[in-house]
Amino acid sequence: MNALQTFEHYIDGVFSYPTERFESVDPSTEAAWALMPQADAADVDRAVTAAHRAMHEGPWARMTATERGRLLYKLGDLVAENAAEIAKLETRDTGKIIRETKAQIGYVAAYYRYFAGLADKHQGAVVPIDKPDLDVTLRPEPIGVVAAIVPWNSQLFLSAVKLAPALAAGCAVVLKASEDGPAPLLAFAKLVHQAGFPPGVVNILTGFGPECGKALTTHPLVSRIAFTGGPATARHIVRNSAENLAFTTLELGGKSPVVVFNDADLESAANAVVAGIFAASGQSCTAGSRLLVERKVAQPFLKLLADKARAIRIGNPQRMETEMGPLATARQVAHMERTVAASIVQGAECITGGSRPRGLSQGYYVSPTILFSHDTDLPCFREEFFGPVLSATVFDTEEEAVAKANDTVFGLASGVFTTNLARAHRMTAKIHAGIVWVNTYRAVSPMVPFGGYGMSGLGREAGMDSIRDYTRTKSVWINTSDAPIPDPFVMR
């Protein structure tokens, strides 16, 4: 039996050996392949204390914004150079297919380069004050130690949209990787070290919620929390932040609608729908999991989708020809199976999928699944699967499409497919979601902010203004008069 690969925490510039470890499972085989470090409250305290010290003492506190930018740019180069190696780890630890992890991690480098360029472009202001002989300037200063918490899916990307603006602003960060599939982020720590960031500026660890997550989000030296994950965990984090009053942003789940009108290019729309729900095995916050198709084209469009779903090549995620891999955890499979079964019992029609693929007896594999129902109160329309399940229904009017699109507690992403430009503008104005893609889906850029409405979270990530969320404004008043301040108790 081969020895399991081991990973370490990265705290205060040192790869540290933990007192406890836990096994990580390869989702394609259901076999343990690595031992991960398990952080406790003492590890968290060491990391946060190191980050606080780095912000107030040592070289990071004295660096210019331009120097910070150079380090970020170097980190971006290292990510690009090592994308293939990290992609293999991510695929091994999460089951995400190699063709997607390679492409995504390679593009993550652009986020570090983008914020590297912004590091010395974020400026203060001079206020034209209404009082004579007083100059007032506004100085943006680093908000403090940042607790960044990311899930296992797209973890290099979701880390970059937190880590890059935080470092550009001059903060120090404690980054908690998910206990599910943390290998790529623990390996990423080597690139941080190689880039030359001073000790304590970036700390990376992993562990479980009660021992690690709670200690991090309640720590008195944490001033900022940036979280991506599910609403249930987010509620705990919000409650925890009452202990330190840390400024908190949340990027949560979604039940994103994709609206297809009868005038759309159906082949193009079908490709986008397939990519939106079956890419990454549906394990994406922005997955287009609700399909609303105009009744006139519903039957041929659903047949087209079913044919494309059945043609998806499912198998070993390390092979470049594989188009869909396993889910990341057994509990995700169980959740999906329960919700699909409950929806079918309540009247949903299973057009395709709904079971384990043939020939794959091991691994957390599920077939691409399409459910249809006129009743949108079923669990498949209400609950986030975080798996490859598309729930489809029909509409007759634009008003009905808007109403059904907005009939959810979530509001992260959405898609609209139409060749009617006026309708496209009307729909983008009326859909309650942080992202509206028109005649495309899943497009991202470091220049464009993203975030949700409702239960999809608070705040925005990426884009030029995201640096502001990692600063606080200091108002500086300077008296320019040589005249002494008069005695306030002498009446004149």
346-355: string of b/e by CB count within 10 Å (b at 16+)? eebebbbbbe
Is pLDDT above 90 for 492?
A: no
User: CA 197 from chain center: how many Å?
Assistant: 24
Encode pLDDT of 78-92 as tens digits: 999 999 999 999 999
Q: Which regions of the chain carry the CATH code 3.40.605.10?
A: 5-252+452-476
Active-site residue identified among 8, 100, 179, 251:
251
Cα 437 from Cα 417, distance rounded (Å): 9
Q: How confident is the model at residue 203 (pLDDT cuts 50, 70, 90)?
A: very high
Facing residues of 149 across strands? 176, 227
Looking up tokens 């210019």, which residue turns up?
64
Is pLDDT above 60 for 163?
A: yes
Cα 277 from Cα 290, distance rounded (Å): 9
Looking up tokens 């395709």, which residue turns up?
352
| Catalytic residue status for 67 | no
> Is residue 479 within 8 Å of residue 134, measured between CB atoms?
yes
What kind of fold does domain 5-252+452-476 have according to CATH? Aldehyde Dehydrogenase; Chain A, domain 1 (3.40.605)
Is pLDDT above 60 for 441?
A: yes
Is pLDDT above 60 for 437?
A: yes
Q: How confident is the model at residue 157 (pLDDT cuts 50, 70, 90)?
A: very high
Q: Output the pLDDT for position 1.
A: 44
Q: Two tokens at 78?
A: 């290292």
Encode pLDDT of 215-270 as tens digits: 999 999 999 999 999 999 999 999 999 999 999 999 998 999 999 999 999 999 99
Encode pLDDT of 348-407 as tens digits: 999 999 888 988 989 999 999 999 999 999 999 999 999 999 999 999 999 999 999 999
Architecture of domain 257-438: 3-Layer(aba) Sandwich (3.40)
Give the β-pairing of 202-206 and 125-127: unpaired
Q: Which regions of the chain carry the CATH code 3.40.309.10?
A: 257-438
Q: How confident is the model at residue 490 (pLDDT cuts 50, 70, 90)?
A: confident
Is pLDDT above 60 for 159?
A: yes
Encode pLDDT of 100-143 as tens digits: 999 999 999 999 999 999 999 999 999 999 999 999 999 999 99
Cα 175 from Cα 204, distance rounded (Å): 5
Encode pLDDT of 413-432 as tens digits: 999 999 999 999 999 999 99
Please compute the mean of the pLDDT values over residues 163-168 and round it to a whole number: 98
Is pLDDT above 70 for 2?
A: no
What is the residue-averaged pLDDT of the chain? Answer: 95
